[in-house]
């Protein structure tokens, strides 16, 4: 029977590319990983790695085995989730990841709800860009996260992860006067940092109109972005959620949680509520949209702590 701890090292090698990177992720030395993978090759009776220059790559057999290992990990996660469901009351850690806008608008009320209803849960939240979420879920340092993708920057499915839809938002052009995107060729732009999904999305939206945005400022926080727009410092593309005021945890104390049984996406402000522009900012809706989802390791969706978290966020 193939050893699951060694399979995890093989899968991580498929993800991270080098034995040194896998060792760093597990707090091992590269020597330990090398020996464990050699032992896995003996168990498998097949070469799983090949030396290529200074590094290694997976053989076809190694790639097949790493892919199948995901199913094994998902089955173990389902076993752990089923075990957790046999306990009365939710306990243990729940490590949550979220991008800044979600942290400001969705999480405060959800965390307050969870803390009140499940005092045994040990909740921690890390702020990070959605592009970094997959690696953090795979290495177990996050259990659940909010991620998003844009029409213009779709994300390939990852076999180690599962997602569930939460929001489907309109994107807006924020300026000091009504403008079409096509008319912004000569505007100065406020872009998110290079490497973020929002940065890439904005570049692609402008390219679709036949120009490249001329970057004046870079800022990742939408409150900052909107403040700069109001100050006449440029134009930007922002999502609907960024226009929601910071949530109040005390509002959650009064609100009854909604049913988690219907996960269909809704706008962040509920049916029919239009976003409110900050003073001095004019919003023009764009065709492109942003979708926000829950993401978690394959097999953990039924874990009662994660189910409680997703229910609390939907109710926020």
**Minimum distance of DNA from residue 32's CB (angstroms):** 3
**Minimum distance of DNA from residue 75's CB (angstroms):** 20
**Minimum distance of a second copy from residue 272's CB (angstroms):** 44
Nearer to a second copy, 24 or 44 (CB): 44
DSSP for residue 243? G
Residue 71 binding target from DNA, a second copy, none, CB below 5 to 8 Å by type: a second copy
Residues 6 or more apart whose CB falls under 8 angstroms from that of 90 comprise 84, 118, 120, 121, 304, 305, 308
Please give the residue ranges that form the binding site for a second copy (CB under 8 A).
1-5, 7-8, 44-46, 60-61, 64-65, 67-69, 71-72, 74-76, 78-80, 82-83, 85-87, 92
Half-sphere exposure in the Cβ direction for 205 (13 Å, CA): 27
Nearer to DNA, 54 or 177 (CB): 54
Nearer to a second copy, 68 or 116 (CB): 68
Q: Which of 252, 313, 258, 308 is CA-nearest to residue 90?
A: 308
Please give the residue ranges that form the binding site for DNA (CB under 7 A).
3, 5, 18-20, 27-32, 34-39, 49, 51, 53-56
Nearer to DNA, 59 or 227 (CB): 59
Three-state DSSP class for residue 213: coil
Residue 55 binding target from a second copy, DNA, none, CB below 5 to 8 Å by type: DNA
**Minimum distance of DNA from residue 17's CB (angstroms):** 7
**Minimum distance of a second copy from residue 161's CB (angstroms):** 17
Q: With the CA atoms of 127, 133, 137 and 138 taken in that order, what torsion angle do they form, in degrees rounded to the nearest 10? A: -140
- The Cα 308–Cα 150 span in angstroms is 27
Q: Which of 160, 140, 130, 170 is CA-nearest to residue 294?
A: 130
Residues 6 or more apart whose CB falls under 8 angstroms from that of 277 comprise 174, 243, 283
Nearer to a second copy, 48 or 311 (CB): 48
């Amino acid at each position: 029977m193939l050893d699951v701890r060694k399979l995890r090292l093989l899968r991580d090698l498929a993800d991270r590319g080098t034995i040194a990177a896998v060792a760093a992720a597990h707090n091992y030395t590269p020597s330990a990983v090398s020996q464990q993978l050699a032992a896995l090759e003996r168990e498998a009776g097949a070469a799983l790695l090949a030396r290529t220059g200074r590094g290694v790559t997976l053989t076809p057999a190694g790639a097949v085995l790493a892919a199948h290992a995901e199913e094994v990990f998902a089955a173990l996660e389902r076993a752990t989730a089923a075990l957790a469901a046999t306990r009365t009351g939710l306990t243990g850690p729940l490590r949550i990841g979220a991008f800044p806008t979600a942290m400001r608008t969705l999480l405060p009320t959800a965390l307050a709800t969870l803390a009140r209803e499940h005092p045994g849960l040990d909740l921690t939240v890390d702020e990070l860009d959605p592009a970094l979420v997959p690696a953090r879920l795979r290495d177990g340092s996050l259990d659940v996260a909010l991620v998003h993708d844009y029409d213009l920057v779709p994300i390939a499915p990852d076999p180690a992860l599962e997602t569930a839809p939460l929001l489907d938002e309109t994107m807006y052009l924020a300026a000091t006067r009504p403008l079409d995107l096509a008319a912004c060729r000569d505007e100065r732009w406020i872009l998110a940092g290079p490497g973020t999904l929002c940065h890439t999305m904005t570049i692609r939206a402008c390219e679709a109109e036949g120009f490249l945005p001329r970057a004046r400022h870079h800022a990742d926080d939408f409150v900052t972005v909107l403040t700069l727009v109001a100050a006449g410092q440029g134009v930007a593309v922002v999502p609907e959620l960024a226009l929601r005021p910071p949530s109040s945890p005390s509002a959650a104390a009064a609100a009854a949680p909604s049913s988690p049984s219907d996960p269909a996406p809704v706008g962040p402000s509920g049916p029919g509520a239009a976003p409110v522009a900050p003073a001095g900012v004019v919003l023009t809706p764009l065709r492109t949209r942003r979708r926000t989802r829950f993401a978690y390791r394959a097999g953990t969706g039924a874990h009662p702590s994660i189910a409680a978290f997703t229910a609390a966020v939907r109710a926020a």
